[in-house]
Amino acid sequence: MKIKSVLISQVKPAGESSPYFDLEKKHKIKIDFMPFIHVQGADAKDVRMQKIDFSQFTAVIFTSRNAIDHFFRLAEEMRFAVPDSMKYVCQSETIALYLQRYIVYRKRKIYFGEKEAEDMIPLFKKNPDEKYLLPTSDILNQDIPDALNKAGINWTRAILFSTVSSDLASKISNIDDYDALVFFSPSGIKSLFDNYPDFKQNETIIGTFGVSTKQTAEEAGLKVEFFAPTKESPSMAKALDDFLD
């Protein structure tokens, strides 16, 4: 099947240097971008219903930039002045550096791992007596609580934001107009069927990024034609390029 149109389930890249734009020219195809999901923040009432009191914690664990945004947003909404003594453990340096939006970085106790959840375990063992708050989405990878439990620390989860399906049907009346659909999260697969409950794959090509996304697609009865990351295709753009060649 000759692919002429592709829908990427993400926000359109800023600027003109995205590899997707190069693929359009190389393969003479049309690539559109549309986020299938968006983040919806909790409010103070939601936090209180979880019986979460920010003042009872001495350290915060951040596994995403969204978690940072919504923790500080809710702290302000609930008139909680985050103390200078608060410690921060971040899953990666990139996440840790994002804290600069909200605090004076060099004056705080900030620790970060390499990338994976298990990388944080030595950091917890250096600070075993803290009371840790874990701000998360409504969706949480099991490797994170597994790592925290393995470290033997006192931690509490707070759901401060949710990943919800975007309204696609009002913008794309016929999803079958696209020859290929590309997904980056299990939530994106869910959004597809939330918006188009009668969707049948038929000749539509499906590409997925990440093991969990691929698994969710297949469990939904979809056939995945190309996949990333792999050794040969570390990015989705490369996987798409290889598939089109």
The predicted pLDDT at position 80 comes to 95
Dist. CA 139–CA 112, nearest whole Å: 22
The predicted pLDDT at position 16 comes to 79
**pLDDT, tens only, 50-62:** 999 999 999 999 9
**pLDDT, tens only, 10-29:** 999 887 789 999 999 999 99
The predicted pLDDT at position 43 comes to 94
**pLDDT, tens only, 191-215:** 999 999 999 999 999 999 998 899 9
Dist. CA 22–CA 24, nearest whole Å: 5
List of domains in the chain:
5-36+167-244 (3.40.50.10090), 40-163 (3.40.50.10090)
Q: Residue 35: exposed, middle, or buried by beta-carbon count in 10 A (0-12, 13-18, 19+)?
A: middle
The predicted pLDDT at position 113 comes to 86
Check the CA dihedral 186-18-13-94 and report its sign: positive
Low-confidence ranges of the chain (pLDDT < 70): 1
From residue 120, alpha-carbon distances to 62, 74, 150, 178 in Å are 11, 25, 11, 42
Closest CA to 11 of 178, 184, 239: 184
Dist. CA 99–CA 88, nearest whole Å: 9
Closest CA to 206 of 172, 180, 228: 180
Q: Is the pTM above the cut of 0.85? A: no
